[in-house]
Copies of this chain bind each other. A is one copy, B any other.
Amino acid sequence: MASTIQDVAKAAGVSAATVSRVFNGGRVTAERAERVRRAAAELGFAPNRVARSLRTQRASVIGLLIPDIENPFFTAMARGVEDAAQQTNLSVVLCNTDEDVDKERRYLEVALAEQMAGVIVAAASRERTDLSLLEARGMPVVAVDRRPRGSNVDVVLVDNAHGSEDATAHMLARGYRRIACITGPQGASTSEERLAGYRTAIGDFLRAHPDRAGEYPVDPVTEWTRFADFKVEGGHKAMADLLARPERPDAVFVANNLMAVGALRALREAGLNAPEFGILSFGEVPWAPMVSPSLTTVQLPSYDLGWTAASLLQDRMSGKDRPLQTVVLRTALQVRDSTSGPGA
C-alpha cells in the first residue's frame, strides 16, 4: 500500500527524479508528466513528508503554542491562525502549553526537531519563555498576545491600555464614580497595562472635575485596586474584599473574563445587582448576552490577532528580510446593560 516515488517511477517507466519534477514544477514533457500522474493516481501515491522535510529542511506545518486551550480567547485566535494558514496550504498543529514553561519548552523542542516551518507562540511566561533556541536556528517565530523578554521576533499585541482606558471612561460617562479595578498578577504585562489604562481614565476625570475629588474618602486609584490571578476564584475573592471596605465602590472594572465571572458571583452573594452596581469585563464572555443583565465587555481582537500573526509568519518564512514588527490591535467596547448607570 505504502507507495514510494520509486514505485511510481517504475510504473511510469521513468526515473524518480522525473516524478519529483512532475510534482514540484520541474520541466517535464507533457506526455511523460501525464504518464507519471496516471501512475501516481493508480498507486495512490502521496509524497512522504518526512523524507521531504529531511531533504528540504523545512516542513509545511506551522506550530501554534497556546497556554490554555480551554480559554475561548485562545481558541478564537487559533481559528484566525488556521484561516490565514489555509491560504497558502499550510497545516497548523496546536500545542497546549498549559501555562507551564517546561511543557512549553518541550513543545518548542518538538517544533525544532520536527523542522516545522515556523512557530507562533502565545508565551506561557513573559519572563521565562525562551525563544532564543529557535532564533539561533533561524526558525521563523512570531509572538502573540505577550512579548517574551529579550527576544527578537515579530510581535502582535492587544492594545490593553487603550481598551481599558476606553472602558473606564465609558463607565464614568454613565455616571459611576467610585469605580474599582480588579486586575491580574503584579508584574504581568497584561495586568499592568490594563491597570494603567484604568488609572489614566480615572486620572483624566479627576483633573477635569477637580471639585469632585472631595467625594472620595480615599485615593481610589490605589485603595480600590486589587491584584488577583486572572482566575475565577481570584476574582471572587477580590470582589468580596472590595465590598467589605467601609467606602464601598459603585462599579468595578475587571481585567479579564474569568475574574469577571467570580466578581459577578460575589456581587450576587452580597445582594448587589447590575446596573445599579456597574460591572465591565475586559475580554468577551461567551454567555455575556445571556446573563441578566447582559454584561458590558471589552472585545479583544482574538481572531485578528491570530490572523495577523500567521500573516507575519508567512512573510518571514518567505524569506523577506524586513525589520522586526510590532503590531498592536485595538479592542472594541461592546456596551450592554450591566453599565447602564447607577440610576438606571
A residues within 8 Å of B by Cβ?
A: 1-2, 46-51, 53-54, 59, 61, 63, 69-70, 72, 75-76, 78-79, 82, 91-96, 98, 106-107, 109-110, 112-115, 136-137, 261, 264-265, 285-287, 290-292
Contacts and interface: CB of A to CB of B under 8 A. Distances in A.
13 contacts: A48-B115, A50-B50, A50-B59, A50-B115, A51-B54, A54-B54, A63-B93, A70-B76, A78-B96, A93-B93, A114-B114, A287-B290, A291-B291
Contact of A69 (B50, B79, B113): B79
Contacts of A115: 48-50
Nearest to A66: B94
A113 B48 contact: yes
Contacts of A285: 287
Contacts of A291: 287, 290-291
A82 B68 CA distance: 12
Given A69-B94, A79-B96, A136-B1, A49 B287 contact: no
A78 B272 CA distance: 38
A313 B79 CA distance: 27
Contacts of A95: 91-94
A92 B110 CA distance: 10
A51 B261 CA distance: 48
Given A69-B75, A70-B72, 15 more contacts: A1-B137, A47-B113, A50-B50, A50-B59, A50-B115, A69-B78, A70-B76, A70-B79, A82-B98, A91-B110, A93-B94, A261-B287, A264-B290, A286-B286, A287-B287
Given A1-B137, A69-B78, A290-B265, A61 B94 contact: no
